Amino acid sequence: MDLLRLVLLLRGTPVDLYDYNLTRDDLQMSIKIVLYRQSSGPSFFYGFTCYSNGLCDFGLFIFQLIEDMKSVSPVSVWSANHGKLMEDTAQLLLTEEGNLVLLGSNGNKIWSTDTADRRRSAAGLNLTEAGNVVLYDRSNAIISQSFNHPADYFLPGQVLHPGMKLTATSPTPDGRAPVYTFAVEDRVGFVASVTTRGSPQTYYKTSDVSKMTSDIGQVAAFYTNGRFGEFVLPTTSLAQFIRLSSDGHLGLYVHDGNYSFNFKDVLTDRIGYCGYPLVCGTYGICSEASMSRQCLCPIETGYFKEIKERQPENGCNASTSISCDSPNHTFAEIKNIYYFAFSCDIRADIPNTTIEICKEACLIVLMFLVGTFGIFARCKVKADDVEDDDPNLPGLQITRFCYEDLKAMTEDFTVKLGEGGFGSVFLGTLPSGIRIAVKRLDGSGQIKKSFLVEAETIGAINHVNLVRLLGYCAEKSLRLLVYEYMCNGSLDKWIFHKVEEFDICWQVRRKIILNIAKGL
């Protein structure tokens, strides 16, 4: 194997590489180190790893030193060539203009820092204890640093600011190459999304951005030992990192003290096994199973078939291609499913929309079905949340909320506004910032009857003197009603009070009584 050459044109002085041949039979590789940082916890090197076939990778590697360098198991946390291997005659050049360039065997540029600036002459490279590769000038000012350019890996000490993101992609069995991103947005927090064609579609958003907001109002995700933004992680003294995988999962990897890293899924506890786009491929329907997921093709119409026989997790194909030229189209309703890009029910995003309106819209723009649902049709069966007597309120133009969404909106039912009428009322906030009052019905015998009476009565009336019912939730035995928030509180606060400033004159009391009568 030819020796890889590091050519430093700066000052014309060549720098020797530290060579280690890893003797473990399962690795069969050698490493050529440019920069090296060792500690009792995570250790790093910046350089080349070369394999017995004569191909190499260049980048930043993390490892846990157990015995000596000959027994390490390095993991690439940043690759100059995105994991594509190059020949062992590659060269790394640090030019006088301050540009760090990786050249292939034929002299082609594989990668560059693009930092050439004659006004700031580069003086050298440094690898920090946290694994940050820093290019600095003669006054030790930073010209470029790897922490500002994350790919799909993230290290403790890194900060994900608005505008920065982790990115991962991989071809799927049907030939597509979805791009997953995990980013930070101002006033929002974490946003996980997928893109195949057109606009990104979100499958996770931070539920409480305040956990990622500094005292001066800046939103960012700090990765420390035990926390990444809103996520609480296990602490460890060993090497660790976070990675966004090509299926959209965000994983924490912690060294096991031997030769490998243990994996912990960060997002699945929040969105479930079926919460990921394309978890069952295109057109696949996902249902939660015990500690896993089950996939199947829609069986209501016989219109879909598995891409690979007996492998429904790879997705489904339409038996007949959808054509805009066909004069006849029909729709099949598949119940108890939802689309991953919507938080709960499509009605929450498109109010006052009936299924007939949706059908007409799809017929007008038929390519919407091909271009969107043909790519992302991954739905989730919620059979466990459906009861035989699950209430249906077809005559009401109100939103049906998910219980987990209401739990997040009320911060786990923290602020109690009052109680009575078979339940307690809690303060909440919609994603739009509008405050709501969420009534959680208590009891067992009267709860369903009370729920239906209150929902059907108040939900069917639109009167200026009656509080407006915005929506409801019915999951298993849970029954909740969502009302508009009244900033002045309940009437009893003004009548049965012990504070003089709450006194209201008889003229105002008479007006209140008349308006109550009008409402009744």
Question: In this structure, which amino acid lies at residue 103?
Answer: L
Q: What span, in angstroms and rounded, lies between the C-alpha atoms of 169 and 172?
A: 9
Q: What span, in angstroms and rounded, lies between the C-alpha atoms of 503 and 496?
A: 10
Q: What is the DSSP string of 163-211?
A: T-EEEEE---TTS---EEEEEEETTTEEEEEEESSSS-EEEEE-S-GGG
Q: How far is CA 212 from CA 43, 243, 287, 347, in A?
A: 28, 19, 32, 29
Q: What is the DSSP letter of 475?
A: E
The Cβ of residue 41 has, within 10 Å, a number of other Cβ atoms equal to 16
Contact 436, 485 (CB under 8 A): yes
Q: Among candidates 169, 166, 170, 168, which has minimal Cα distance to 190? A: 166
Q: What span, in angstroms and rounded, lies between the C-alpha atoms of 460 and 394?
A: 11
Q: What is the DSSP letter of 401?
A: P
Contact 437, 430 (CB under 8 A): no
Q: What is the DSSP letter of 312?
A: G
211 φ/ψ angles, rounded to the nearest 5 degrees? -70, -10
Question: Annotated binding residue at 439?
Answer: yes
Residue ranges of the annotated binding site for ATP are 439
Residue ranges of the annotated binding site are 439
